[in-house]
Chain A
């Protein structure tokens, strides 16, 4: 029995000695973590059929302010770093049009203007990417964006009708922005 009991200190030693090493960990590395995801989504889609354009007397087809608070909300404005807004303007009407997109802040001050001059159909789709932040335009334009104003001027006549099916002018837009979550 005595010899058998010799195993006791060995076992105890084994059990206790295994409570041994914890290599150094540096939890401060967490401070280096950068979470700067990029998110993208559609912003505004506008379409105006040629029949509506032809109904308008004069050249000012329409001009309308659209409230848009997505970017000025704190959860976004406090974190956005930079990004790109993409516009796609397509004109299948028979007339040349000038489409103007303006960004306004809360006090209705125009902070950015983009003008699209589109020829009568057939014309290629006009795509324009506008960068904000970094070497692009000021990111503050995005942070303070409260209203999008879209206006269109008819540079042609108001009687002709395109022979394309369902002729219209469309303005598509999407945004892709990098935000600092941490």
Chain B
């Protein structure tokens, strides 16, 4: 049975500190030879000291943990984690000895450690299999999207109404981009199941996912100017109010994009994220595969697209395709665009009105 302290120690020992030294460790000799694992004599020496002093150190609430780290000369030292938000962090650091029994001490200021089992965003998972009826902004895809040694998936983004029927809206390249028999001897076809979560979140085994809708191919690409597809909802499988995880219900109205407009989206990979529109009327070239991990199908040049800041892929990342981009307001936001492409600095969305026009659809909302 592991104690909380030993768990913390195991966690932080595996992290092996990178930087943040506040005072120099004692050791200045050449780094010890060999792999610095728990069997290494130099590491064991630090661990022995760590076992002796950690309990006492952690009586101070400002000290959040200890670990075996390495100094800049790559010698094992005792790393002491100090709460960067503590009002007296400076005093705590100053009072720490520079060594314990010949083992150097280095300080690393850190945020409070938190359990990471729950995903960010209030504990809402965008990849877990949901209880029915599902909310949108969740992992999903074509049930047969497995080829060439990979499985693929994206986001079941939002709910639209076509001819009085409800459909899940996502991207062409999420639902129906398999256009060759290729690696799975199959092409995406009207009537195929759309599943939640997508294959990428159920170890590529669709038996672990649930069918929530039925694909209705529209072949939006390569000929139209939108990357969209829809799947007709199976009765009782999707919330009829179209609620999106961490966004809630949306407006049935839409709004055009404008530069600096604050936007948000809820997607499979990055969850609920926010950004702002940085450009309009973009002409963009995007290359598409002919199936999951397949060859190049075509390169499409889109016009009139919405450009969104995406520094470090924090707003949109692989797997978020199909997410609905809405204005960043708290209640019933209006749809702005359908996210479908990007890079680590830039995200691209189809203007939602063009998507809806192509599908003869309206958003489901209030």
Q: Do A and B come from one complex?
A: no
A residues with CB within 8 A of B = none
